[in-house]
Amino acid sequence: MFRMKITFLGTSAMLPTKERNPNAIFISCNNEGILIDCAEGTQRQLRYAGISPTKVTKLLITHWHGDHVLGIPGLMQSLGASNYTKKLEIYGPKGSKNFFKNMMNGLAFKSRIKYELKEIENKKFFENDDFYLEAENVKHSITCLSYNLIEKDKLKINIDYTKKFNLIRHPLLGELQRGKDIVYQGKKIKVKDATIVKKGKKISFILDTYYDKKLVSIAKNADLLICESTWIERDKLIDKEHLSAKDSSLLAKRAKVKRLILTHFSQRYKNLDEMLKEAKKEFNNVELAQDLMNLEI
């Protein structure tokens, strides 16, 4: 069965605060451990969350601003010291190979683990039986990616229907679930009658960006949108390359998502009540992320 658990490892923009680490989100789903961004301090946050860093199978980088990537060398080094036998798959926007090389060249570092870094843009870049991952460029001061994790639709057996044929606990049910019509005791049983489609969930991750119509199509109909909300609208004049709570909640409304979680907050706010209030004006099913907050999907 496909189960997904999301852990927020860092929810601050730009600077760490006493309460919040900069950005990183860990998603555990079946055999995969997906880390979206790896800010400074992410390893420690993983420890606090009770997640072994060796669980990470994929590192998805949104962009190369420090508050999203400064933890990468430390993570690589720790995996090398931890008997990590997998090949770490790293994905990032165009230019990532160069940034990565330069970052590692700044250290007396020799990788003791296998890894492969792929530069991606606007496409599906990973797929297994349960889900797929896609990336799309968003507008920020440097090249930046949003990510979607999309669970595949599954066919469930409609037992009320199949028991009419006395077809219970039979290997042929597996064929139906794989989408193939079958013949049982001379009778044809069609997939469309004998199964029910269980729609897969869509989770969208939109980090640093300014508001753009394209975001609506990226997050369209998502079951959950995790979205940056650096500012309260009145402060956005300082820097327009990030979203405000008003932007993020309008995006959620326009994209018809079911649930919105805001993250990546400016350290100027000691209290986020006004942030939440601003978001609720546009979209009611919204909450604020906190470091080490977990949710199961």
Q: Among residues 223 and 241, whose Cβ is nearest to Zn ion? A: 241
Where on the chain is the footprint of Zn ion (CB under 5 A)? 65, 67, 208
Q: Among residues 58 and 65, whose Cβ is nearest to Zn ion? A: 65
67, 208, 247, 291: the catalytic one is 67
Task: Output the smallest distance, CB 62 to Zn ion, in A.
Answer: 8
Task: Output the smallest distance, CB 204 to Zn ion, in A.
Answer: 17
Contact 125, 96 (CB under 8 A): no
Beta-bridge partners for 203: 149, 224
Contact 151, 2 (CB under 8 A): yes
Q: Among residues 12 and 162, whose Cβ is nearest to Zn ion? A: 12
Contact 201, 151 (CB under 8 A): yes
How would DSSP label each residue in 178-190?
A: TT--EEETTEEE-
Both tokens of 26, joined, read 């860990």
State CA 186 to chain mean position distance. Answer: 47
Contact 185, 197 (CB under 8 A): no
Q: Among residues 29 and 243, whose Cβ is nearest to Zn ion? A: 243
| C-alpha Rg value of the chain to the nearest Å | 22
Q: Cα dihedral sign for 247, 253, 256, 262?
A: positive
Is residue 208 annotated as part of the catalytic site, yes or no? no
Residue (of 80, 59, 54, 82) closest to 69 by Cα position: 59
Task: Output the smallest distance, CB 196 to Zn ion, in A.
Answer: 42
E strand or H helix that includes residue 249: helix 245-254
Neighbouring residues of 186: CB distance < 8 A, sequence distance ≥ 6: none
Task: Output the smallest distance, CB 135 to Zn ion, in A.
Answer: 16
Q: How far apart are CA 242 and CA 248, in angstroms?
A: 10
Q: Among residues 13 and 51, whose Cβ is nearest to Zn ion? A: 13
Catalytic residue annotation: 67
